[in-house]
Amino acid sequence: MAELQEFRIETRAWLEENCPASMRTPMAPGEEVNGGSKMRSSNPDSYIWLDLMAEKGWTVPNWPVEYGGAGLDMDHYVVLLQEMARINAREPLAGMGISMIGPTLLEFGNDDQKARHLPKIASGEIRWCQGYSEPGSGSDLASLQTRAEDQGDNFLINGQKIWTSLAHYADWIFCLVRTDPRAPKHEGISFLLFSMDSEGVTVRPIRLISGASHFCETFFDDVVVPKVDLVHQQNRGWTVAKRLLQHERSGIHTLATAAASRNARMQTSKSLPAVAAGYLGKTDGKLSDPQLRDAIITNRMNARSLSLTQQRTVEESEGGTPGAATSIFKYYVAEIRKSLQELQLQAAGTQALGWEDDTFSKEELELTQMWLFSKASSIAGGSNEVQLNIIAKRVLGLPD
């Protein structure tokens, strides 16, 4: 305990001295750092903070030192999270590299793959995207048809992916491909890594109803991928794919980030009463609409309950990732996000339905866009219906 307390004191002093003031505020749109150089943060302090934390190994604190981490055990990791939360410090690096493919490579990658890819993820040098869904293979992902032809030392990739999040900014992709079309659909899939700058890769952003282009169509035409970046075993990629999704939904980094930054995120929820009061007014110091007031309190209580559950999961973990129960987090986070946006819409009324008219303020136009974009949270990464099926079968043990 004395050693842990000493670590806390040293960590607190270092954070106080080194964390820039702007990195102690809620994350503003456009200031995120997800790795790579194709999409830069609008705040220069983001890169000062990234470099300082990467040097400490604190972008991925529980990864081994040789791969860019700090090798912290769970007790020390929790202390770091607590001290970051104490000053509202932002996470220095986010994205699929540290939350998805990184932990998966630690488990399934060979020594060469770990040495080549993990340090670049930890430093924020490389940004990753996910090649899973296809136009005809969404919820039934195992029916994917992107083909990988074995050519000895290489694979030749042909096919299409869709809903590839921010693929137009990514440097590398982790991709599911069919390497044995004659095998049962779950058994003929392989898990590959390759550069988005490879010849034959084409990316087209998809304009969403919110006006944003977060998702993309990605096409592969005779893309050559060296076999050195086949993860795990040929035709055994489904095992890797499922594990990666568990890391995405509830890996230690994901849970830790949620627990550490929940206070900052809750400030969005805390702004809701102010938004509502601005449109509906107050009576005796309380929001005038009692039903909306009750709904806002319920949303905040649910968000806080989720935060505490995630924090407890981190503290009780031995460093692994929960199994099918991760679908509970995926489902509940999506529901809370949608509920928050619906409440903002309810509070602002028709003023939250603007698009480009001068009668709407910038903040009101952003409310519209956030409300529309929130609909994707219950679809992306596995729809809520799929998550409920997983919970029913794998967690509760209900019959088909």
- Residues with active-site annotation: 248
Cα distance between residue 355 and residue 366, in whole Å: 9
- Assign residue 30 a region (left: φ > 0; alpha: ψ between -120 and 50; beta: otherwise): left
Instruction: List the one residue out of 223, 213, 198 whose CA is nearest residue 148.
Output: 223
3 state SS of 230: strand
Instruction: List the one residue out of 179, 176, 329, 186 whose CA is nearest residue 252.
Output: 329
Residue 375 one-letter amino acid: K
CB 352 within 8 A of CB 318: no
Instruction: List the one residue out of 222, 203, 200, 199 whose CA is nearest residue 148.
Output: 222
CB atoms within 10 A of CB 241: 23
Token representation of residue 205: 């952003």
Angle at 314 between CA 129 and CA 240, to 5 degrees: 40
Sign of CA dihedral 268, 272, 274, 278: positive
| Residues in contact with 290: Cβ distance below 8 Å, sequence separation at least 6, in sequence order | none
- The partner residues of 128 in beta bridges, in order of sequence, read 172
CB 219 within 8 A of CB 147: no
Instruction: List the one residue out of 26, 8, 13, 169 whose CA is nearest residue 91.
Output: 26
